[in-house]
Amino acid sequence: MALAPKDQFIDDALEKRRDQHRLRQLRPLDPLDTVTVSDDGRQLINFSGNDYLGLSKHPEVIARSKKYAQEFGTSATASRLISGSYSIHQQLERKLANTFDWEAALVFNSGFQANSTIISTLADRHALILADKLSHNSLLQGSLSSRATFRRFEHNSISDLEQQLERASGEDFSRIIVITESLFSMDGDRSDLQAMAELTQAHNAWLFVDDAHAVGVWGKDGLGLTYVIRGIDMVLGTCGKAYGGFGAYLLCSEKVRTYLINFCPGFIYTTALPPAAIGAIDASLELIPELDETREQLLKNIQLVKEGIHQAGFTTGDSSTQIIPIMVGGEQDTLELAEYLEEHGFLATAIRPPTVPKGGARIRITLSSEHSTAQIENFLNALQSWSNG
Ligand SMILES: Cc1ncc(COP(=O)(O)O)c(C=O)c1O
């Protein structure tokens, strides 16, 4: 049989995406301030960013980022284990561990990289991974590449998790790792971490929690939904969201940290985070506990937006946070609504399968403390006018 042209599979895949209205495209959107972007000169209010506290433009965060670049250069120039582990990397890890009351912390280059490499380092092919059905793709990648037995439990269902743990106790796994997010990235709802911690402890299972969207915003002093919950073995925090920076870190025991430094490929075989990124994280980490008023403002914004969305006739699922899905359902309708909002000056991204389950297409709003009441009201008016037809 003659071989098809070698890039035929690419044409086929893209055509299928186009037919399904699922083709994704990049566009240049330059930030003008924390919530406004410029699309080729046209201003749009951004309801799709993760700068929840406006820290990406905070003068102290920018100043420390610049200072570290000036003092230490633009690159760490090597991986951590070769010569890229500067004093600032290690000081930051100590500061993270102290701030969050953990024995140890280890910095990674991104949340995606951390999740995909940590899970596959902890699990071997004799292990069992139990993941919440809506876990982020990076957690999925880590689970699949470990070659462990991979099972999902119903989203946020403690009873399903319990049944699966019971079932696993009769099987012969080397270890069990339970994975969840504290605040789900597409639905904006939260998991019951206390119950999960008790359950995993009772079953001698590890509990890995991705706190990416919660840290900075939720919990005492903005230290995340995992803060002060006993029985969690590892917490992943990302720095590209509320921190307004870039990178990620794992909170864990000294033993786990040493194990990862020795065995985790995504930690070992990559250039360390550049000084400018370390500086931004360092400054945000100091600022976050002081930002209760900023968090209060964000809560007010959440309240206002949710009320308006409901008044416009949409549901918001189980969201109880700054991530709010405006449920539409159909992919075409969702795209049309996103376009309509954009014509009215708002960036509110359509999220479609396969990122969310089939029939779950939505506009996903993410709020910042920096959105003004006027910006929110204008957005809600546009949504209402779409609903009025
Ligand atoms: C829940 C969750 N975990 C991890 C990540 C990845 O983090 P990063 O953007 O630092 O790669 C994201 C965001 O994209 C996320 O939503």
Query: What distance in angstroms lies between residue 357's CA and the mean position of ligand 1's atoms?
Result: 18
Hey, CA dihedral for 269, 271, 277, 279, is it positive or negative? Answer: positive
Provide the pairing of β-strand 104-108 with 248-252. antiparallel
Pocket-forming residues, ligand 1, beta carbon under 6 Å: 110-112, 115, 136, 138, 181, 185, 210, 212-213, 238, 240, 248
The pLDDT score that the predictor gives to residue 21 is: 76
The answer to whether residues 272 and 86 touch, using CB atoms and an 8 Å cutoff, is yes
Atom of ligand 1 nearest to the CA of 183: 1
CA-nearest of 108, 133, 136, 134 to 121 is 108
The pLDDT score that the predictor gives to residue 25 is: 87
CA-nearest of 250, 188, 183 to 211 is 183
Question: Is 318 exposed, middle or buried (CB count within 10 Å of its CB: 0-12, 13-18, 19+)?
Answer: middle
3-state secondary structure of 279: helix
What are the residues whose beta carbons fall under 8 Å from the beta carbon of 371, sequence distance 6 or more? 35, 45, 47, 301
Query: What distance in angstroms lies between residue 111's CA and the mean position of ligand 1's atoms?
Result: 5
Distance CA 221, CA 185 (A): 21
Q: How far apart are the first and last CA of the chain?
A: 55
Distance CA 96, CA 278 (A): 12
Nearest residue (by CA) to ligand 1, atom 16, is: 185
Q: Which residues of the chain have pLDDT under 50?
A: none
The answer to whether residues 30 and 38 touch, using CB atoms and an 8 Å cutoff, is yes
The pLDDT score that the predictor gives to residue 23 is: 85
Please give the structure tokens belonging to residue 376: 């929110």
Long-range contacts, stretch 259-265, CB < 8 angstroms, 24+ apart: 259/121, 260/106, 260/118, 260/121, 261/80, 261/81, 261/106, 263/121, 264/117, 264/118, 264/121, 265/117, 265/121
Query: What distance in angstroms lies between residue 155's CA and the mean position of ligand 1's atoms?
Result: 18
The pLDDT score that the predictor gives to residue 1 is: 72
Nearest residue (by CA) to ligand 1, atom 4, is: 111
The pLDDT score that the predictor gives to residue 213 is: 98
Instruction: Give me the active site residues, please.
Output: 50, 136, 181, 185, 210, 213, 241
pTM above 0.75, yes or no: yes
The answer to whether residues 137 and 164 touch, using CB atoms and an 8 Å cutoff, is no
Query: What distance in angstroms lies between residue 212's CA and the mean position of ligand 1's atoms?
Result: 6
Helices (H), the chain: 8-19, 59-72, 87-100, 111-122, 137-146, 158-169, 193-202, 254-263, 265-268, 275-287, 292-311, 331-343, 373-387
The answer to whether residues 44 and 37 touch, using CB atoms and an 8 Å cutoff, is yes
